[in-house]
């Protein structure tokens, strides 16, 4: 259970990062034109990306999958589907980082498009981690 407990702890830490970004995502889009706000967003999105890379790597390590498979073979397809989402989620973070990096001075930054994509990313990550947490709790709950 150590490995899965670590993953659940990681999910709590990710929740904190996602909560902060969700607050910013609800701001008036005009604020995203401010260099200081975009600098903060770039920092937070960069931290999120780094965190996800290590989090997904831990989840994809064999022992976690093997443990779930042993306890609940029927859960394997769902777990494999969740793991298959990791690359797409990282691509989505990288896409939002690129949008955030675009220069408003050159007319390349669309604050509404950025906000839409940021919200879509936060929703996708929340849903992914929620489903994983449910699966872990279901498989490892006491009989």
Q: List residues near Fe ion by CB under 5 A.
A: 59, 129, 132
Identify the sign of the CA torsion 72, 78, 84, 90: negative
Choice between 96 and 132, CB closer to Fe ion: 132
Choice between 41 and 129, CB closer to Fe ion: 129
The residue at minimum Cβ distance from Fe ion is 132
CB of 7 to Fe ion, least distance (A): 6
CB of 125 to Fe ion, least distance (A): 9
The torsion angle over the Cα atoms of residues 99, 101, 102 and 103, rounded to 10 degrees, is 150
CB of 101 to Fe ion, least distance (A): 26
85, with CB counted inside 10 A (0-12, 13-18, 19+), is middle
């Amino acid at each position: 259970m150590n490995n899965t407990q670590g993953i659940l702890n990681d999910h709590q830490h990710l929740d904190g990062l996602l909560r902060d970004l969700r607050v910013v995502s609800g701001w008036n889009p005009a604020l995203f034109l401010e260099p200081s706000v975009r600098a903060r967003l770039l920092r937070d999105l960069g931290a999120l990306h780094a965190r996800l890379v290590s989090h997904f790597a831990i989840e994809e390590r064999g022992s976690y999958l093997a443990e779930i498979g042993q306890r609940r073979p029927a859960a394997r397809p769902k777990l494999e589907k969740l793991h298959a989402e990791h690359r797409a989620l990282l691509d989505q973070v990288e896409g939002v980082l690129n949008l955030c990096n675009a220069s408003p001075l050159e007319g390349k930054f669309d604050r509404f498009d950025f906000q839409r994509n940021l919200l879509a990313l936060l929703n996708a990550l929340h849903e992914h981690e929620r489903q994983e947490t449910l699966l872990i709790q279901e498989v490892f709950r006491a009989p």
